[in-house]
Amino acid sequence: MQIESPPVDRERIIPTAERRGLILVHTGNGKGKSTAAFGLALRAHGRGKAVKIYQFMKVPSARFGEHRMFEKIGLSIEGLGDGFSWKSRDIAHSAQLALDGWAKAEACIRAGEHFLVVLDEIMYPLRYGWVPLGPVLTCLRERPSHVHVVLTGRNAPQELIELADTVTEMTQIKHHFEAGVPAQRGIED
């Protein structure tokens, strides 16, 4: 039986190592970009760290499973959008909401009071041009050095990938929608 070395646990090898905030990007066409960000948020919150989640494509009143749990444990999650994807066709309004939302998120990142700030689905407003990329990159570069930021969404811009410390691409190998199985409550929302 061939035994392969499992991944090394760096935490234990470099106990006095450098601590600094990271830029993490979850991109690609597969599942798990947002849920992995939520898992990170949960982990950090479990370590007693201040965490804030902004969701650019969710309405403020969203009540999916994760919202119910985050509320229960006191982890702040805020929808910044107008449910554009299935309700609104008022693009100008959606664009303005995204821009207002970014102003909030930027202020939060720059304030440095949070260990982790999640910008969930920010790639959409970036791609649509609702939020300009330049100021986002500037904010990330100028942020207090202890602040971790996770950005999610398909088609992360190349400049953001270059700036990021860690980039993971979630690739869809197979999806149950293709086999005609629809969204399942409790799994997809």
Residues 118, 174: Cα–Cα separation, whole Å: 27
Task: Give the nearest distance from C-beta 179 to its own copies in angstroms.
Answer: 7
Task: Give the nearest distance from C-beta 138 to its own copies in angstroms.
Answer: 20
Measuring CA to CA, how many Å separate 30 from each of 36, 37, 80, 126? 12, 14, 23, 19
Task: Give the nearest distance from C-beta 67 to its own copies in angstroms.
Answer: 7
Residue 67, both tokens:
């919202």
Q: Which is nearer to its own copies, 23 or 108 (CB)?
A: 23
DSSP string, 12-27: HH-TT------EEEEE
